[in-house]
Structure 1
Amino acid sequence: MADYLMALWLAGRSTLADAVAGMSRLHAPIRVGLAGLVVSGCFLEPNLGSGSTRTKMVLILLLTLNGLQATILSRRLAHQVSVRPPTKLLLWGAASGTISQVCWWGAIAIGFWNGQH
């Protein structure tokens, strides 16, 4: 959702202030979703010897670390709402969004694949 809000801003369909405000409201649900992913994974008795399970665990760790740094990025963007953010922040945001998408979809795909096999 945070990536979608930023895409709306990049497309000129919202202001940066609206996108940043929306992202700040999403931090709690994103953390709950991440916690749910971790807790549900623990109850599913993962095969820790499996390469795909270990890959999923690395993806979740990266997702968590990315979320922590995204909080810092969000604060910095909040100070730029009245002007165009520096390219450095925009690139940081693009990298953060890419990492987020790769980790979420990768973890979901591995979980689905493990459930089928």
Structure 2
Amino acid sequence: MSTADATSITRRSVQPADLLRVPLWCAPTLASLAVCAGWGASIWVAVHLRADSTLHTAALFVHLASLVVGFGAVLSIDYYGILWLSGRKSLSAVVGSTAPLHLPVWAGLAGLIASGAFLHPDLSSPLTCVKLGLVLVLALNGVQAGVLHRRLAALDGRPATRSLLLWGAVSATVSQVAWWGAVAIGFLNSRR
């Protein structure tokens, strides 16, 4: 074997796309870290900043509007899931129809987290701490739901595996429990 042959064996042609390719786990991990950082920053702001009445009123409006946008999109996604379960829509149609709804879910969630920092949350209340935990759970659940959505879209009309269907059921259940739990606690806290 000549030196040229050895060099050609060990030297691999690197394409520009290869330089941009990251492991599959990297994006969800970074997204999860960003979610945790945003959640933590919101709590830090809530502890260290007192909003005046004007900012509080604006934050309350943003909070309620974000709830409508984010939770409304989540309920729409789950409604499409019910249409699939009842046989009225194919899985590929549901996956295609719900893809655009991820943006309003995340926009609503980001608005809720950002505006919630200015609503004077009582961090000494166990109920408030549970609500904050539910918000973190639903945000992290949203990250993995995005991964699930991409895997379902990649099926391209083929039937989903039992594990993907179970993953979807658990994801939807966690989402509903976390959203409704946070809404209920928010309602109870607003009555104080």
Normalised to the residue count of structure 1, the TM-score between the two structures is 0.95
Match of 2:185 in 1: 110
Structure 2 counterpart SS, 1:14: coil
Distance in 2 separating the partners of 1:114 and 1:34: 19
Structure 2 counterpart SS, 1:43: coil
Distance in 2 separating the partners of 1:40 and 1:109: 18
- Measured after TM superposition, the shift of residue 39 of structure 1 is 2.0
- Measured after TM superposition, the shift of residue 35 of structure 1 is 1.2
Aligned partner (choices 129, 133, 148) of residue 54 of structure 1: 129
Match of 2:85 in 1: 10
Q: Alpha-carbon deviations, 1:44-66, whole Å to 9, x = none?
A: 11011110111001000000100
Q: Alpha-carbon deviations, 1:27-54, whole Å to 9, x = none?
A: 1000011112112211111011110111
Match of 1:30 in 2: 105
Structure 1 stretches of 4+ with a deviation exceeding 6 A read none
Distance in 2 separating the partners of 1:4 and 1:46: 32
Distance in 2 separating the partners of 1:114 and 1:20: 36
- Measured after TM superposition, the shift of residue 81 of structure 1 is 3.8
Distance in 2 separating the partners of 1:47 and 1:53: 6
Of structures 1 and 2, the larger Rg is shown by: 2
Q: Is the 8 A contact 1:73 1:89 kept in 2?
A: yes
Unaligned runs of 5+ in 1: none
For residues 82-97 of structure 1, the aligned pairs below 5 Å read 82-97=157-172
Structure 2 counterpart SS, 1:84: coil
Unaligned runs of 5+ in 2: 1-75
Q: Is the 8 A contact 1:8 1:14 kept in 2?
A: yes
Match of 1:78 in 2: 153
Distance in 2 separating the partners of 1:63 and 1:38: 12
Q: Is the 8 A contact 1:16 1:81 kept in 2?
A: no
2:135 counterpart letter in structure 1:
I
Normalised to the residue count of structure 2, the TM-score between the two structures is 0.59
Structure 1 counterpart SS, 2:116: helix
Cα RMSD after superposing both structures: 1.0
